[in-house]
Amino acid sequence: MDVTEAHLKVSTDRRGAGLLASRRFLVTGGARGIGAAVVAALSAQGANGVIFDLNADGAAPAGWPVVSVDVTDEAAVREATCALDTNGPFDGLVAAAGIVPPWQSPANIDLEVLDRTMAVNLRGFVIALKCLTSAMPAGSTVVAIGSLNSWRGDPNLLAYVASKHAVLGAVRSAAMALGPSGIRVNAVAPGPIATEALLERIDARAAVTGCQRAEVLQDFSRPTALGRLATAEDVADAVLFLSSPLSSAITGHLIPVDSGLL
């Protein structure tokens, strides 16, 4: 059993069940990747809810319908959430919908790519906040998926970095605004996670970098304190913590999940 397999076994064994019993969540981008891992973790702790994802064919646990919604469309998000109000208000939001654009230098950046990246990564989060939080009861939680690029730059990903910096600003501002109502707002900052989407990007960049998948993943792992990549399940555990009473005094913060990129 390697380090990652052993970690996943411990992670699964410690969760138990029932930490979020009777709580209702909306997870955007929850049909695959990190979002799907989050839904699985919330469901395992007794939560139910709804997934908003353009990939409405994705598998999901029982009690978690997948609704095809463009998170950048305020009218569509509001219509979808209003249609679900008969089941009561949501008391948890996880904003996992996001995109990573292709590499572009600042001198050659496509402004339409910039606009689309900001729309999905920032606007989508803010729309969800706007549509849900006015009806959320005290004790509710909001968790956004940020990034290590919420605080550091990348010469090839100006649009993505700008969007994730903006998400952190939105989290901090929303935490201040919603705190008096008893709603906590936080974010997690994954390092490189070997999701299908990341592997596809590595393969697409191979023509430029000359590096194959295994080599890139090893390069990502080498500088971490734990000597391994964090997993989607690691990120889901952090979201679970921030969505539970175990973090009742934490709001306005960004928690790195990166195996120790120090």
Output the furthest CA–CA distance in the chain (Å, rounded): 53
pLDDT at site 121 = 98
Q: Does residue 30 lie within any of the structural domains? A: yes
Same domain (yes/no): 164, 210:
no
Residues 31 and 73 both lie in one domain: yes
What local confidence, expressed as pLDDT, does residue 198 receive? 81
The type of residue at 30 is G
Tokens representing 126? Answer: 């803010």
**Structure confidence at residue 17 (pLDDT):** 60
pLDDT for the residue 203: 84
The torsion of the CA quartet 6, 186, 221, 152, rounded to 10 degrees, works out to -170
pLDDT for res 57: 75
Question: Do 104 and 221 belong together in one domain?
Answer: no
Q: Which domain holds residue 225?
A: 194-229
261 part of a folded domain: no
- Per residue, the 3-state secondary structure of the chain, as one string, reads CCHHHHHHHHHHHHHCCCCCCCCEEEEECCCCHHHHHHHHHHHHCCCEEEEECCCCCCCCCCCCCEECCCCCCHHHHHHHHHHCHHHCCCCEEEECCCCCCCCECHHHCCHHHHHHHHHHHHHHHHHHHHHHHHHCCCCCEEEEECCHHHCCCCCCEHHHHHHHHHHHHHHHHHHHHHHHHCCEEEEEEECCCCCHHHHHHHHHHHHHHCCCHHHHHHHHHCCCCCCCCCCHHHHHHHHHHHCCHHHCCCCCCEEEECCCCC
**Does 123 fall in a domain?**
yes
Q: Is residue 60 in a domain?
A: yes
**What pLDDT, on a 0 to 100 scale, did the predictor assign at position 6?**
42
Can you tell me the distance from the alpha carbon of 54 to that of 77, in angstroms, rounded to the nearest whole number? 12
| Residue 26, token pair as written in the block | 């909306």
Beta-strand relationship, 24-28 and 48-52 = parallel
- Give the model's pLDDT for residue 200: 83
Which amino acid is present at 218?
Q
Q: How many angstroms from the chain centroid is the CA of residue 166?
A: 14
> Are residues 91 and 201 both part of a single domain?
no
Q: Are residues 88 and 106 in the same domain?
A: yes
If asked whether residues 32 and 162 sit together in one domain, one would say yes
> 239 and 127 in one domain?
yes
The rounded distance, in Å, linking the Cα atoms of 165 and 239 is: 19
Read off the tokens for 254.
């960004």
Whole-prediction pTM: 0.89
In CATH, what number is assigned to the domain containing residue 50? 3.40.50.720
| Residues 210 and 251 grouped into a single domain | no
Do 60 and 126 fall within a single domain?
yes
Domains in the chain, number: 2
The residue annotated as part of the active site, out of 64, 90, 125, 160, is 160
pLDDT of residue 199: 83
146 and 207 in a common domain: no
Q: Based on the domain organization, do 223 and 136 belong to the same domain?
A: no
In the residue annotation, 160 being an active-site residue is answered as yes
Residues of the chain with pLDDT below 70 are 1-17, 58, 85
Could you tell me if residue 31 is inside a domain?
Answer: yes
Statement to judge: residues 242 and 207 lie in one domain: no
